[in-house]
Amino acid sequence: MATVAVTGAGRGIGLEIARQHLACGDRVIALVRNPAGATELAELAAASQGLLTIHAMDVGDDASVKSGAAETGDEPVDVLYNVAGISGPVPAELESADWDEWNDVFRIMVQGPLRVLQAFLPRMGEGAKVINFSSQLAASTWPYGGYYAYSAAKAALNRLMRSVAIDLKERGVIVGLVHPGWVQTEMGGAGADITPAESAEGIRKVTADWTLDRSGDFLKWNGETHPW
């Protein structure tokens, strides 16, 4: 049985990651900004016989991350999934910008994963894994415009976590970046390519197979290397 922590576990891919790990018999630490609104997650927890617990954590807030992590105890964490994110200003405004919205995007999707990692790192030993949800929009190969804040934040996350991977390698902690696919979630829309269940299943397999020699790599949900 592994112990996994999942941010953004209240909906979408985060919820499905939590559900599938629970079905495998794993211990799940579910982290959500608003536990009162996570009704489906609460139903999973109620039927889990204590294997899944829900904890409040706003990844954009230092105090919330620290208190949320402390509430989960001190058990070792085998896998940390940094899933939580926002779309930011859409469509992008070429000739103007809401800088407060930009700040929110970077606070949540660049600083947030590092905050969460810092909070759980003392509980992560050799072989533990930190899987960060990136996007194909982070890649220079993405052939479209728009989504300025979101794309920039995900590109920054990739570079940040590649540096973290280098610095954690001697500790044996594996850091991964994953594009979850275009998924039928609130953010991805109903017309997206794959379901949350398909994305989560692929990501769990990719995570299980991730080795230290590939720490810092950017992969797709199906295990293929994502050009960057």
pLDDT, residue 193, reads 76
Report the CATH fold assignment for 3-220.
Rossmann fold (3.40.50)
CA R_g for the chain: 16
139-172 confidence digits (pLDDT tens): 999 899 989 999 999 999 999 999 999 999 999 9
Any alpha helices (H) in 121-147, and if so which ranges? none
Hey, is 166 helix, strand or coil? helix
Give the C-alpha separation, 97 to 92, whole Å: 8
Q: Given 81, 147, 148, 150, which residue is catalytic?
A: 150
Asked if the model's pLDDT at residue 80 lies above 90, the reply is: yes
Query: pTM above the 0.85 mark?
Result: yes
> Which string of DSSP letters, residue by residue, matches 46-74?
HTTTTSEEEEE--TT-HHHHHHHHHHT-S
pLDDT tens readout for residues 6-41: 999 999 999 999 999 999 999 999 999 999 999 999
pLDDT tier for residue 42 given thresholds of 50, 70 and 90: very high
Active site residue 81: no
Taking Cα atoms as reference points, which of 13, 5, 62 lies closest to residue 31? 5
Query: Would you tell me how many other CB atoms lie within 10 Å of the CB of residue 205?
Result: 13
* pLDDT at residue 78 in the model: 98
Q: Are 154 and 134 in contact (CB under 8 A)?
A: yes
With beta carbons less than 8 A apart as the criterion, state whether 124 and 75 touch.
Answer: no
Average pLDDT for residues 61-72, to the nearest whole number?
98
Nearest Cα neighbor of 79 from 9, 20, 26 is 26
